[in-house]
Amino acid sequence: MTAQSDTQVTTVYKVSGMSCGHCEGSVSGEISEIPGVSSVKAVASTGEVTVVSAAELDEEAVRAAVDEAGFELVGKA
């Protein structure tokens, strides 16, 4: 899912393997380093990561960040 307002894009991604708050923090921390990202909220119980950014992100950049955190990007929710 992707929603766009005048200044921000909100995208929800599915990530597999998150099971706790530490997992959420790892994924959020890596994705937040992508240029243009203003906020990240990862929820382990649903496997969803909501990313707010200045423009639509390159999915491969998000995939690389999730990989770096030790998890797998399934795709957009």
Could you give the residue ranges of the DSSP H alpha helices within the chain? 21-31, 59-69
Q: What is the average pLDDT across 25-50?
A: 98
Nearest-angstrom CA–CA distance, 51 and 30: 12
* Residue 1: per-residue pLDDT: 66
Alpha-carbon distance values, 20 to 2, 15, 73 (Å): 25, 13, 16
Q: What is the largest CA-CA distance in the chain?
A: 34
Domain range list for the chain: 2-76
Architecture of domain 2-76: 2-Layer Sandwich (3.30)
Percentage of the chain exceeding pLDDT 70: 92
pLDDT tens per residue, range 59-72: 999 999 999 999 99
